[in-house]
Amino acid sequence: MTPHVSTFETAEPALLELLTHIHTGKAQLPDFQRGWVWDDTHIRSLIASISRSFPIGAVMTMAVGENVRFRPRHFEGAKEAEGKQPEVLVLDGQQRLTSMYLSLFSKGPVKTQNEKNQEIFRYYYLDIAKCLDPTEDRFDAVVSIPETKKLTSDFGRKINLDLSTREHEYEQGMYPLPAIFDPAAHMEWTNGYKLHHQHEQTKTQLIDQFNMEIWLPFQQYKVPVIRLTKETPKEAVCQVFEAVNTGGVSLSVFELLTATFASDNFHLRDDWESKKKTLYDIPALKGVDESSYLTAITLLTSYQKQQSTNSAVSCKRKDVLNLSLSEYQENSTLIIKGLKDAAQLLAKEKIFDIKNIPYQTQMIPLSAICAFLGQKLQNDTIKSKIMQWYWCGVLGELYGGANETRYALDITGVLSWLNGGEIPATIRDANFSPLRLLTLQSRNSAAYKGIMALLMKKGCCDFVNGDPVDIQTYFDQAIDIHHIFPKAYCEKQKYRRELWNSVINKAPLSSRTNRVIGGYKPSTYIESIQKQEKISPDRLDEIFLSHLIDPGKIRSDDFAGFIEHRAGELLTIIEQAMGKTISGRDSEEYLREIKRIQ
């Protein structure tokens, strides 16, 4: 049995040592760390805590090694560290260490923020008298002053505190914090203070007391450090980072992989941004983010490996993090092509933009399948099978939760099926309950979007202009989903909301047609369409049939008959899309609910 090897160790270096390592570049940040954002109040509070030897929390670092390679960047203001290779990277403690480095070690003004999040520049001082007065709040002894080193009021006309010269600092008893870890600067300042006050006994005693009670504790202050060793795997580093940064925004795999690839001088973000421009020219692909993109590449890469090694297909977080640069470069272009091919397939199904894509997540396996097939995707039988799988995922509502396992099942199952294997799990598992029609009330539901796309694919035409929906009319005429029996009319008749607001009473129509419909009952707006638009009753009946609407029912305002008939028609096109029979269409429960209009 292999003995357990610890992946971390603990230490308690002096604060001065930590800040020196930041200054020299021995300690840096992994490139995925976000920028320093602490405001002036946080900085003053931190300084006050250190001055009283209060704990400020542990810092976590990671030893730099071959096992985990991230592109480093130096701490804010640590210009001496530019171009240096670090020995450790700081995973937790960036805000505290940067605040301490800039206010206590750096010689320039600190760029920070005020309480209104406005950018300001500040120098920090300790009010000697207040530091030594036990009745004073130590926070009030930490003085923040603008880069002019003058505190003013009355729109700058009145100077309340002037520390622009050494003599003014001595006179006001304000100790400059950048001197606290610089022995020569500290000695010069304290001697200058005594000389300025002509070695007056009370002033000399005051600065000596300050050195003992304030300056010396800064020199002795220690910070607990947890050090992850070189043996710590990348996945563990990422988990640890997120665990200690729960107060911030979750760190994405894209940011982590960007930092990893940067160590090989490859700029992942720039590469993605250039590829994204070509994707986002296609409205249906505007929802593809960097995480989906990397997951699709990992899924394709893993499937390719399975073909030669018979390994398991997986595209979970740890798999994305282990994606090599060469694998990314080999498959990123294939996935971009796969995404565009997937968008073409969806366009033929009348899914044209991100608003009406049922499941954004299903684009991941669809794009990987398209990428792997390449030219084979031109085969009609292959396309038909892929779309059967797609519609089973949508109408069976199988992509609503955590999906990495299903991605792997789908790419292996679908591609095996295309080669004569068994029906994939998504098709086998998919089921649509007839009563689901009543609960599909809004575009938030994948199946709701899917049914509207199926109506457009079937050739439904606009009530007023008679045009079928294609990509041009979809955008030019602002096609959207509207009520057939209008909401206002249904509410007045006290019809069940579950019926009139369901997908059964919805249709893809132009914005102009929706204005014509208004809140009128169907017989009224039908008469208006026939008279004002000069559309013959026979032609309008053809249009109604294209929407699976019984012309007789809608012309007579027969809401109950309309609902029952159209629900049955919708179930039929759902069966056709899924390639499966829907059970329960004739059940007593379904028929009772579909006929109960009030």
What is the pLDDT, as a whole number, of residue 251?
A: 56
* Helix orientation angle between 325-348 and 290-309, rounded to the nearest 10 degrees: 110
The yes-or-no verdict on residue 261 having pLDDT over 80 is yes
> Are 438 and 496 in contact, with CB atoms under 8 Å apart?
no
| Residue 116 binned pLDDT confidence (cut-offs 50, 70, 90) | confident
| Residue 318 binned pLDDT confidence (cut-offs 50, 70, 90) | confident
Where helices occur in 419-558 by DSSP H, the ranges are: 425-429, 436-439, 446-458, 471-476, 487-493, 497-500, 511-517, 522-532, 537-546, 551-555
Q: What type of residue is 79? A: K
Q: What is the DSSP letter of 442?
A: S
Q: Which of 31-45, 141-155, 330-344, 496-510 has the lowest mean pLDDT?
A: 31-45
- The DSSP code sequence of 167-225 is HHHHHHTEEEGGGTT-HHHHHHHHHHHHHHTTT-HHHHHHHHHHIIIIIHHHHH-B--E
Query: What region, left, alpha or beta, does residue 350 occupy, with left being phi > 0 and alpha being psi -120 to 50 degrees?
Result: left
> Are 129 and 138 in contact, with CB atoms under 8 Å apart?
no
CA distance 595 to 598: 9
Q: What is the number of alpha carbons within 13 Å of residue 194 lying toward its C-beta?
A: 15
What is the pLDDT, as a whole number, of residue 322?
A: 87
The yes-or-no verdict on residue 248 having pLDDT over 50 is no
Consecutive H or E run containing 152: strand 150-153
Residue that the structure tokens 């923040």 belong to = 144
Among 463, 460, 461, 512, smallest CA distance to 484 is for 463
Q: Could you tell me how many residues make up the chain? A: 598
CA distance 50 to 502: 63
> For residue range 494-534, what is the model confidence (pLDDT) as tens digits?
999 999 999 999 999 999 999 999 999 999 999 999 999 99
499's tokens: 């019926």
Where helices occur in 67-182 by DSSP H, the ranges are: 94-100, 128-131, 138-141, 166-172
| Residue 264 binned pLDDT confidence (cut-offs 50, 70, 90) | confident
The yes-or-no verdict on residue 349 having pLDDT over 80 is yes
Please enumerate in sequence order all residues whose Cβ is within 8 A of that of 465, keeping only pairs 6 or more positions apart, or say none: 477, 510, 512, 513
* Residue 184, phi then psi, degrees to nearest 5: -65, -45
Consecutive H or E run containing 509: strand 506-509
Q: Residue 27, SS3? A: strand
Where helices occur in 245-362 by DSSP H, the ranges are: 253-262, 268-279, 290-309, 317-321, 325-348
Cα radius of gyration rounded to whole Å, the chain: 34
* Residue 567, phi then psi, degrees to nearest 5: -60, -45
What is the pLDDT, as a whole number, of residue 241?
A: 62
Q: Residue 90, SS3? A: strand
CA distance 256 to 443: 34
- pLDDT, mean of residues 412-417: 97
> For residue range 45-74, what is the model confidence (pLDDT) as tens digits?
999 999 999 998 888 888 887 666 677 889
